[in-house]
């Protein structure tokens, strides 16, 4: 099984900060990596797929990078609407393990 590990688990930041979240895969997944945002009581929302492709309608302050086993989600200037929990997911072949999540809190 492919395991996904995110860090940090929690992140405290202020509006305007640059935020970086890391995701590591236990084996090579090429660029089959997605990032989701989830707010309390809501279903996850797809932000980025293929490691770096922004889904249509997602603000450009979100960006993703990486390949193989190391991936990064960057929020260039944190906005009030961005305080949420973020998950990475590998979707290599037909499976889809998620990372444990990173909660972005208000500092």
Partner 1 sequence: QLQLKESGPGLVKPSETLSLACNVSGGPFISSGYYWGWIRQPPGKGLEWIGSIYYLGSTYYNPSLKSRVTVSVDTSRSQISLRLSSVTAADTAIYYCARRFRTDPFDFWGQGTLVTVSS
Closer Cβ to partner 1, 28 or 77, answer by number:
28
| Residues ≥6 apart with Cβ < 8 Å to 20 | 72, 73, 74
Exposed / middle / buried, residue 25 (Cβ in 10 Å: 0-12, 13-18, 19+): buried
Provide the minimum distance between the beta carbon of 16 and partner 1 in the complex, in angstroms, as a whole number: 28
Structure-token pair, residue 16: 């305007």
Site membership for partner 1, residue 86 (CB under 8 A): no
Query: Site size for partner 1, by CB under 8 A?
Result: 23
x/- mask, partner 1, residues 19-38, rule CB under 8 A, reads -------------x-x-x-x
The residue ranges that bind partner 1 (CB under 8 A) are 1, 32, 34, 36, 38, 43-46, 49, 55, 87, 89, 91, 93-101
């Amino acid at each position: 099984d492919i395991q996904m590990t995110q860090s940090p688990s929690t992140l405290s930041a202020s509006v305007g900060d640059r935020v970086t979240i890391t995701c590591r895969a236990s084996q090579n997944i090429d660029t089959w990596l997605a990032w989701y945002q989830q707010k309390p009581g809501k279903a996850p929302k797809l932000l980025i797929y293929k490691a770096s492709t922004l889904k249509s309608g997602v603000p450009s302050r979100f960006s993703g990078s990486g390949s193989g086993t190391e991936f990064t989600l960057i929020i260039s200037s944190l906005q009030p609407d961005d305080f949420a929990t973020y998950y990475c997911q590998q979707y290599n072949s037909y499976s889809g393990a998620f990372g444990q999540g990173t909660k972005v809190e208000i500092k």
